[in-house]
Structure formats: structure tokens, C-alpha cells
Structure 1
Amino acid sequence: MGGGSGGGLFSSDIKGLEEKVKQRLAEAKADVSRHVFISFDHEDLDEVNLLRGQAKNDKADLQFDDHSVKEPFDSANADYIKRNIREKIDRCSVAVVYLTGKTASSKWVNWEIEECLKRGKGVIGVYKGDAPPAKTPTAFQQNGCKAVKWEHDALMRAIEEASTKR
């Protein structure tokens, strides 16, 4: 009753399958896209949209999925706004803070940084020009967050590093 053989895999078949799986995993790792929340002062929306556009450009090395707030919430209810922003933060692995002269005084940017850190997200800053602004948000300074120049390679390395160190 019942015996046993038939239809098994040969060791050469198993080795071939192993190699195919390893190759697919390597390809998937090379093509990983990070889930990013971008924190910024609303007055910097045009420049942030340029950053978003570069990340969507197939010819650019910059690659991430943006889980940020695209349009301001139509509400004066701070609890409602915070709840909706938290949902977006929860979907990301890294927060990128767009550093300008305006972000240091933005209560929302500071709150978003604090919320990201509380939720175990990596936080980095990105700036245009030769140096970051003289003042950065308090939570950014106090937590020793790293700032990088707005360049594809530097930004992607910083996103990857922040993602693995969270």
C-alpha cells in the first residue's frame, strides 16, 4: 500500500532552482525603493515637488515612494491633521526633511520629525546649495540627524543608511 517513489526532484534540479531564486533575490535587492515621508514647510512646496518629480523620473538614480502629504489638510482641527499625518508616517521607513530657512520655525516640521523618531523611522535632512541653512528644526538638531546636499547619490545613500539604522 502506498509506496514511495515517483516524481521527486533530482539534486541538479534543486541546484538550478536555488540559483534562479538567488538571482531573483539579488535583482530585487538592487531595485529596492524606499518608502519616504518628506517633511517641509508649505512655502517650499514647489521645490519639494521638483524633488518628487526627480524620484519619479525613470532616467534618474533617485528612487523612493513618497508617502507624504501632497495637499494641505482642509481642517483647522490639529488632532485630525496629526492623525492623518501619522498614518502617512506609519507607511514610510525614512523621513526626509527638506531644510530651508523656513523649516527651523515650522511647528509642523518639528512635530513631524519628533513623530517619525517616536515611531522608529530614520530621519535625514536634504538641502540645496553648498551648505545647510544656519538654523534647522529643534528636533533635527537635538537628535543629531544627518543632513546631505540635494544630489542623487548622496541622498540615496543617506536614505539607505537611515533605513537600516532605525
Structure 2
Amino acid sequence: MKRRIFISYQHLDRMKAKGFNLLKHNKNVDVDFVGRHLLDPVNSTNEQYIKSRIKEMMHGTSVTVVLVGRETCDSQWVQWEIDQSLAKDHPNGIMAIRLEDARLPESCPVSDALRDAGAEIIDWDAHTFADAIERAAVAAGRVPTIKRAAAAAVDDESCAREASII
């Protein structure tokens, strides 16, 4: 079962967000998700309409992945998306991926929102994304995905067998 994630980013990082979304097609990276996002600009300046489109994209997701770039810190939209992710009937797990040009001071609107959400912040390393997404989902009380839960059950069974041999 693929985890459904919402991708939050500051508009200057749009190409990096598109690259992140494409990782699910890379055979060399073990990350599998259904990305929900607004990677294509909304053809409107109406704030309420834009917010309704974002909420529509968030619907049915279990994790919000915040891509943190150079200008993300003061983004009111990213902060709003984090707040909305937590305000859902079934709140999303929140995690952040620090892009190479990231600037995330101790105290700024997005840093504060991530800290308040208990978000894990990781550096860009595609090989760590799947586990970090899963940790965020589990932290929010979401059931582990079947693939990962099955792998954990096999590990538990192996440990139990090993313990009974000793």
C-alpha cells in the first residue's frame, strides 16, 4: 500500500518539489508514495480559492512532507499548510526535508510550526525518505503501511525464532 503524502514547498523550490515527486519512478530509490500537491500553479489570485484547492489536495493524505529551501522560513503558505495538515479530522504526520540551500533559523514561522508539530527534519538523502515518511505517519497515529508492517513482522518472527534457539 502506498502512503499518500502532501508535498508542501515555497514556490521558489517548485522544480525541486517536482524532482522529489519524480523519485517514486526512480528504480534506484526505495520510496513509494502517491504525491498530492499543487506543482502546477493555480490560475487564480483569489486566496480563498487557492486555499480550497490546497485542502482538496490534502484530503486523504496521511503525511505532509515540507521541503525546506532558502526562502521557506517566512512562507505564510507553508506555515498555513502545516497548520491545515494538523487541523484535519485525522491529522497528518509532518516531516521536513532540508534542501541544500536551506535556511531554517531557530525561530521563524515555519521553524516554529515544524517544532510545534514535532516534525523530524532530515537532510536531502533519497535513501532515507521512505523510512522518514513512515515514522511521521506512525507518529501521527497512522497504521504502518502493509509492506513495512510485513517486513517488521518477519523481523519479529526471526528474532523470536532466534530467541527460542538460545
Partner in structure 2 of residue 140 of structure 1: 114
Q: Secondary structure at the match of 2:82?
A: helix
Partner of residue 14 from structure 2, selected from 20, 38, 45: 45
CA RMSD of aligned residues (A): 1.8
Partner of residue 84 from structure 1, selected from 32, 47, 53: 53
Q: Secondary structure at the match of 2:34?
A: strand
Distance across 1 between alignment mates of 2:63 and 2:7: 9
Distance across 1 between alignment mates of 2:120 and 2:102: 10
Distance across 2 between alignment mates of 1:104 and 1:128: 12
Note the 1:15-164 alignment, pairs <5 A: 32-119=1-88, 120-129=91-100, 133-135=103-105, 137=110, 138-164=112-138
Larger of the two Rg values belongs to structure: 1
TM-score, with structure 1 as normaliser:
0.74
Partner in structure 2 of residue 6 of structure 1: none
Q: Which residue identity lines up with residue 104 of structure 2 in the other structure?
A: A
Residue 103 of structure 1 and its aligned partner are, at CA, apart by 0.8
TM-score, with structure 2 as normaliser:
0.74
Q: Deviations over 1:103-149 (max 9, x none)?
A: 111110000000001110111000134x9633361311333311012
The count of corresponding residues between Structure 1 and Structure 2 is 134
Deviant stretches of 4+, over 6 Å: none
Q: Secondary structure at the match of 2:114?
A: helix
* Structure 1: runs of 5+ lacking an equivalent: 1-31
* Structure 2: runs of 5+ lacking an equivalent: 141-166
Distance across 2 between alignment mates of 1:70 and 1:151: 21
Distance across 2 between alignment mates of 1:70 and 1:153: 23
Residue 162 of structure 1 and its aligned partner are, at CA, apart by 1.2
Partner in structure 1 of residue 162 of structure 2: none
Q: Which residue identity lines up with residue 77 of structure 2 in the other structure?
A: W
